Amino acid sequence: MSFDVELFKYICGAAEEFENGLATNPVVPPKKAIENLNIFDEAMPTEKTPALDVVKMLHEIGGPATTLSRSGRFFGFVVGGTLPVSVASSWLTSTWDQNATLTMLGYTAAKLEQVSRKWIVQMLGLPEDCGMGFVTGATMGAFTALSAARHKIYKNCGYDLKKGGLKKAPKIRFVISEDIHATNISALNYMGHGSDEMEFVAVNDQGLIIIDKMPALDAQTIVIIQAGNINSGAFDDFSKVCAIAKKAGAWVHVDGAFGGWIKVSKTRKHLAQGMELADSWSIDCHKWLNVPYDSAIAICRDRNAFMETFTISASYLLTDGERIPNNFTPELSRRARGIDVWAALKHLGKDGFGQMIDQCCDHALNFSKELEKIGFTIMNDVVINQVVFCLKDNDDQRLKRVMERVQEGGEAWFGPTKWQNRNVFRMSVSSHETTKQDLEVALGAIKKALTD
């Protein structure tokens, strides 16, 4: 099949149109655009549809109904805006149609995973020989790292999990912050562990684990702590927790979904002091690194624990190459995510990445001060890119109406959350796209909603 020049010219034009609308189009699509999606509800075609017609339909009907999470005015969840260089690398990777399972299936993919691993480990100040798997997101990052942790603990106990299964396995304890992100609970559930097996530790008003409330640890314990609380952005005391755990022989895992990258910042890296002392880490790349979905990394101090947990053997699988990619993830066939990670890191450089993180944090801090001036209470210490806020009059219903008005206007989007037993709203600045002008537009929308 020859290269369809007309098709790809159209795609470039559609992408350009989308990019040019990021600064001005509604962050949340209008009701009419969402209703138009019903056009897709048609009977399965019996004959071929020209490729150009398919893509035109996708652009003309799907495009207007797209939530602009890439916009600099989208402050919901913790969603990064994709860097143009990673959009381009993603297009090229899809054109190559690379399966990153084996070196032979993707020499470039395998090499760039190796290079990205080395760069990331150096940037975060982790042990040079750490193992790293490229996975889909925070949940699979936690699943991958915690599965390796469990394998290591069972191995130390002389138990073969792959042979004996969970039914006969020795007991493993999970000591977890009361305010841990739900993805970690899900990961443990997927591993076959229920909430009754988890020991939850009380937290302070910033969502940080209270060290004195931790139970006694032992060599069959996995402790899960956070680099960046999902609401407050606060960081657990890694040095103290790791010191206690090391003395007991326990394993420490750090959920660094977005906050783990703070180690790259020149002005805020102290917040993650001691993070490198842990045994495993999980970090999203489609958040602060701003690469396309889906992308995250799982890192393990013990490289062999990854390999022993995930290596798949079959007569047809080739084992050539310096690092066999499928030995470090739960997946066999998968997208070559490491290429987009490499492209973003190569483009930004360590200093550029750090500056992007600091810019997001500065935006959040400045916006929180402006919110205070117009009648809001900031409910967290704004240490990085997260701001949790409510009205000073504590009228939760009025707050809800105000923020709904902002969302309906399409000028900005802030997400609701639960914090300190209150229904509040949260701002997360995670995109390289966000500018001072975006913040002014968002603040103006809030002021107008307050007045209305």
- Residue 19: other Cβ atoms inside 10 A: 12
Could you give the count of Cα atoms lying within 13 Å of 378 in the half-sphere of its Cβ? 19
Mean pLDDT, all residues of the chain: 95
Instruction: State which amino acid sits at residue 107.
Output: Y
Contact 295, 286 (CB under 8 A): yes
**According to the model, what pLDDT value does residue 270 have?**
98
CA–CA–CA angle 219, 225, 229 (5° rounding): 175
Distance between CA 273 and CA 185 in Å, rounded?
Answer: 25
58-75 pLDDT per residue, tens: 999 999 999 999 999 999
Give the CATH number of domain 89-345: 3.40.640.10
pLDDT confidence bin for 312, thresholds 50/70/90: confident
Query: Beta strands of 61-203 (E only): which ranges?
Result: 131-135, 173-177, 198-201
Contact 254, 138 (CB under 8 A): no
Domain 348-451: which topology?
Aspartate Aminotransferase, domain 1 (3.90.1150)
**According to the model, what pLDDT value does residue 3 have?**
75
**According to the model, what pLDDT value does residue 232 have?**
97
**According to the model, what pLDDT value does residue 378 have?**
98
**According to the model, what pLDDT value does residue 241 have?**
98
Residue 158 sits at φ, ψ, to 5 deg, of 80, 25
**According to the model, what pLDDT value does residue 63 have?**
96
How large is the average pLDDT for residues 1-26? 90
- The model carries a pTM of 0.95
203-247 pLDDT per residue, tens: 999 999 999 999 999 999 999 999 999 999 999 999 999 999 999
198-214 pLDDT per residue, tens: 999 999 999 999 999 99
357-409 pLDDT per residue, tens: 999 999 999 999 999 999 999 999 999 999 999 999 989 999 999 999 999 99
Instruction: Give Cα separations from 213 to 208, 216, 217, 230, 401 (angstroms).
Output: 11, 9, 12, 21, 39
The residue with tokens 């991958």 is 144
pLDDT confidence bin for 318, thresholds 50/70/90: low
- Look at residue 316 and tell me whether its pLDDT is greater than 90: no
169-190 pLDDT per residue, tens: 999 999 999 999 999 999 999 9
- Look at residue 452 and tell me whether its pLDDT is greater than 90: no
Looking at per-residue pLDDT, the higher value among 394 and 428 belongs to 428
Percent of the chain exceeding pLDDT 70 equals: 98
Distance between CA 214 and CA 217 in Å, rounded?
Answer: 8
**According to the model, what pLDDT value does residue 313 have?**
78
